[in-house]
Amino acid sequence: MNRISELFGSMSFNDEVMREKLPKEIYKSLHKTIEEGTDLDITVANVVANAMKDWAIEKGATHYTHWFQPMTGITAEKHDSFLTPSGNGKVIMEFSGKELIKGEPDASSFPSGGLRSTFEARGYTTWDPTSYAFIKDDSLCIPTVFCSYGGQVLDKKTPLLRSMERVNEQTLRILKLFGMNDVTHVSSTVGAEQEYFLIDRDVYNKRKDLMLTGRTMFGTKPPKCQELDDHYFGAIKPRVMAFMKELNEELWKVGIYAKTEHNEAAPAQHELAPVFTTTNIATDQNQLTMEIMKRVAIRHNMICLLHEKPFGCVNGSGKHNNWSLSTNTGVNLFNPGKNPADNKLFLLFLCAVIKAVDEHQDLLRISVASAGNDHRLGADEAPPAIVSIYLGEQLTDVLASIEHDTDYTEAKAQRMSTGVHVLADFRKDTSDRNRTSPFAFTGNKFEFRMLGSTLSIAEPNIVLNTIAADVFSEFADRLEKAQDFEHELKALLKETIRDHKRIIFNGNNYSQDWVELAEKRGLLNLKTTADAAPHYTDEKNVALFERQRIFTSSELESRRDIMLEHYNNVYHIEIETMLEMVHRDILPAVFTYSADLAQMIEAKQAIGMEDAAGKGVLTKVNKLTDELYRNTAVLEDVNAVFNSIANPMERANYCRDHAISAMDATRKAVDRLEDLVDAKIWPYPSYSDLLFSVDS
């Protein structure tokens, strides 16, 4: 434990370090900025910059970088040296407040969705003092937001910070109504559980598809997949253990407390859960976690796969976004307490979230949409593309009793006798966590489970905070005007439950029955990114984001287009990769095998031997080869059309309607050939080779 406490945060310029290294006044002033969002004074910034630099140099850093999150979804950094020429041929180590606060990356190639023309291409970066600076690879990394000169948002952090501010403002209004005047700040908190695969690096290096696209474009199902469930929570292999140990230490150093790690459902799949923190720090930490995971894996000659669906036959990887609201006095606002039926404050926040999720199903779906995640949502392994809330029976009964003015025990008894619950396979235990729900209330927080494993958690949390803040503000408006607060509150809860209970579903989200029932309830089912993206700029959503001052309508349009372009680019690369693999590796291997067979058959015939088996296999191989050739030709044609479409929305629609099925057909033929062709000739490691590559 001693070693851990020594390591923990040793590379993070955290509160403790700031308190120690900064003069009292400066520390206080910085704290005010962090807590109240006041502007940072340049004199304060100068002192902080100097202390940060001295601390970083002491830790061996030579460079600093403004670490930011452009709309690519990954982090970007530009390194500058602390060294400044001092005039006499010598150098001194310098870092000023100006350099801390503001950076100017030449960032014209980051996607901006048309927001910046090249003449004003230089966005600028500003220090985000609410997230701690840290040292990585001898560089002091300064968490930063990224904007254009016109003030347009070009990154994921700026809107996230704005959305946190809105939640704070609106939650405080509600708390005031409940007499909680001691609370001065409310933060949205997040703990992001991260799934990933580990495979051996040598095997990975033989798979072009994994290297170019992050997923296998081909691969027949191995004899053993995840049927036995022997991996889930099973014993961790020594090599993986060594990786996890080092990963933990690296994470601890930068102040990320990774709490649990266990094997997931699929072979070679694992999960990491950090201790929760404020949303923006959690976002930075999750980005950093993914980056460190990949780096540590390489040191162990493994590759960490963060793609949502690296393998066809086993579960893909997701991310669970545990979200809650917590006051500076330490109260979790989603804590139901012992008696939720009497906890009006809790019920109000709960109902607000129910309304927010119901009214903005589209935005939650959009916030997790990507080409990779489309493979998971609705595929019997991850929640469906339909957004619904799991509350558990107890809370559902509490809400029913409010709606119908009955008492809680009565409502419960009624449900038991009439069996109102639609699907009978739900367990009676109220504490049971329904793993199939996309948005589950899990005791004192909501767990949003639709996120893909590579996704930045910024986007879903921008949406969560914004939609929550919007409903809180509506509720506050109404309750502030009320003559009789208790009466109005009761009416508000009742109405909200009546109007939005359709979003509550405690049953099995994976079942076909639910798809049909959800449709009857009028819930959205936006199956693919192409279906979801256009809703980003629906009138309702533009109004919401403008009302909450998160995005302007042109910023929303740009984000929609970036999303679509990314989707199209992913498919473009995947199709090109497939075509190259088929033409240059797979067909040649199949031809070799066919020639070998033909030669053998001929040789046998020459000495008067019939070869039924050889002929049988050759016939099958030949038929499949023809099929593969035809399907690949179709894919080539489709690709040509796909590449000729300029409009990103039309292109995405074409992809959904034509490209994906052509890709599937090509893959099917290849996978059936892999089942038949000599393993020694097949050009790529098999799924067994990949999934069981880390076996010691």
Task: Return residues touching ligand ADP (CB under 6 A).
Answer: 189-191, 193, 273-276, 322-324, 332, 442, 444-445
Minimum separation from the CB atom of position 472 to ligand ADP (A): 17
**Residue 143 beta carbon to ligand ADP: minimum distance, rounded to whole angstroms:** 20
Q: Choosing among Mg ion, ligand ADP, none, which partner's interface includes residue 319 (Cβ < 5 to 8 Å by kind)?
A: none
Between CA 571 and CA 581 the distance in angstroms is: 15
Say if CB 346 and CB 337 are below 8 A apart. yes
Q: Which residues bind Mg ion (CB under 5 A)?
A: 193, 320
Query: What's the token pair of residue 663?
Result: 């890709």
Pick the closest to residue 319 from 456, 459, 451, 461 (CA basis). 451
Residue closest to ligand ADP when measured from CB atoms: 191
Nearer to ligand ADP, 8 or 27 (CB): 8
Distance CA 349, CA 483 (A): 21
Whose Cβ is closer to Mg ion: residue 53's or residue 320's? 320
CA-closest candidate to residue 249, choices 237, 261, 238:
261
String of DSSP letters for 518-556: HHHHT-----SHHHHGGGGG-HHHHHHHHHTTS--HHHH
- Residues in CB range of 247: below 8 A, 6 or more apart: 258, 272, 292, 293, 296
Nearer to Mg ion, 320 or 651 (CB): 320
Closest CB to ligand ADP among 442 and 541?
442
Give the residue from 337, 369, 325 showing the smallest Cα distance to 567.
369
Q: Least distance from C-beta 256 to ligand ADP, angstroms?
A: 11
- Distance in angstroms between the alpha carbons of the first and the last residue of the chain: 28
Q: Which residue has the tokens 């000599």?
A: 678
| Residue 21 interacting partner from Mg ion, ligand ADP, none (CB closer than 5 to 8 Å by kind) | none
Beta carbon nearer to ligand ADP, 257 or 692:
257
Give the DSSP letter of residue 342: G
Residue 274 binds which entry of Mg ion, ligand ADP, none, with Cβ cut-offs from 5 to 8 Å by kind?
ligand ADP
Residue 125 near which of Mg ion, ligand ADP, none (CB within 5-8 Å, type-dependent)? none
**Six-digit token pair at 252?**
């601890």
Residue 215 interface partner, choices ligand ADP, Mg ion, none, CB cut-off 5-8 Å depending on type = none
Give the torsion through C-alpha atoms of 16, 22, 26, 28, to 10 deg: 20
Choice between 200 and 271, CB closer to Mg ion = 271
**Separation CA 598–CA 600 (nearest Å):** 5
Q: Closest distance between ligand ADP and the C-beta of residue 275, in Å?
A: 5
Q: Which residues of 351-386 are buried (b: 16+ CB within 10 A; e: fewer)?
A: bbbbbbbbbbbbbbbbbbbbbbbbbbbbeebbbbbb
**Identity of the amino acid at 665:** A
Residue 296 and residue 247 in contact, taking contact as beta carbons nearer than 8 Å = yes
β 139-147/186-200 pair status: unpaired
Which partner from the list Mg ion, ligand ADP, none does 264 bind, CB cut-off 5 to 8 Å by kind? Answer: none
- Tell the smallest beta-carbon distance from residue 432 to ligand ADP (Å): 12
Cβ 261 to Mg ion shortest distance, Å: 13
* Residue 190: contacted member of ligand ADP, Mg ion, none (CB under 5 to 8 Å, by partner type): ligand ADP
3-state secondary structure at position 682 = coil
324 binds, among ligand ADP, Mg ion, none (CB under 5 to 8 A by kind): ligand ADP
Nearer to Mg ion, 306 or 411 (CB): 306
State the maximum Cα–Cα separation within the chain, in Å, rounded to a whole number. 104
User: CB of 271: closest distance to Mg ion in angstroms?
Assistant: 8
Nearer to ligand ADP, 193 or 393 (CB): 193
User: Amino acid identity of 425?
Assistant: D
Tokens 């609410």, residue located: 130
Q: Quick check: 321 and 367 in contact, CB under 8 A?
A: no
Of ligand ADP, Mg ion, none, which one sits near residue 189, judging by CB under 5 to 8 A according to partner kind?
ligand ADP
Task: For the CB of residue 372, give the shortest distance to ligand ADP in the complex, in Å.
Answer: 22
Phi and psi at 81, nearest 5°, equal -85, 150
Cβ proximity to Mg ion: between 253 and 320 the closer is 320
Spatial distance between the Cα atoms of 203 and 684, rounded to a whole number of angstroms: 9
State which residue, 33 or 189, has the beta carbon closest to ligand ADP: 189
Residue ranges of E strands in 572-641 = none
Q: Residue 445 Cβ, how far from ligand ADP at the closest point, in Å?
A: 4
Least distance to Mg ion from the beta carbon of 451, Å? Answer: 11
Q: Please count the helices (runs of H) and the strands (runs of E) in the chain.
A: 26, 18
Binding site partner of 8, from ligand ADP, Mg ion, none, Cβ cut-off 5-8 A by kind: none
| Binding-site partner at residue 617 among Mg ion, ligand ADP, none, CB < 5 to 8 Å by type | none
CB of 433 to ligand ADP, least distance (A): 7
> Which residue, 245 or 262, is less far from Mg ion as judged by CB?
262
Residue with nearest beta carbon to Mg ion: 320
Nearer to ligand ADP, 226 or 322 (CB): 322
Q: Which is nearer to ligand ADP, 217 or 440 (CB)?
A: 440
DSSP-derived secondary structure for 624-671 = HHHHHHHHHHHHHHHHHHHHH--SHHHHHHHIIIIIHHHHHHHHHHHH
Buried b (16+ CB within 10 A) or exposed e, 476-489: beebeeeeeeeebb
Helix (H, G, I), strand (E, B) or coil at 130: coil
To the nearest whole angstrom, how small is the minimum distance from the Cβ of residue 462 to Mg ion? 21
Judged by beta carbon, residue 193 or residue 250, the one nearer Mg ion is 193
Minimum Å distance from CB 62 to ligand ADP? 34
CB 443 within 8 A of CB 392: no
Shortest gap between Cβ of 292 and ligand ADP (angstroms)?
A: 17
Contact assessment for residue 387 and residue 378, using Cβ atoms and an 8 Å cutoff: no
Give least dist CB 329 to ligand ADP, A.
14
Q: What span, in angstroms and rounded, lies between the C-alpha atoms of 247 and 194? A: 13
| Residue placing its CB nearer to ligand ADP in the complex, 279 or 537 | 279
Q: Which one of ligand ADP, Mg ion, none interacts with residue 358, CB within 5 to 8 A by kind? A: none
> Among ligand ADP, Mg ion, none, what does residue 397 contact (CB within 5–8 Å per kind)?
none
What is the DSSP secondary structure assignment for residue 341, as one 8-state letter?
G
The CA-atom distances, in angstroms, between 350 and each of 323, 464, 518 are: 13, 13, 21
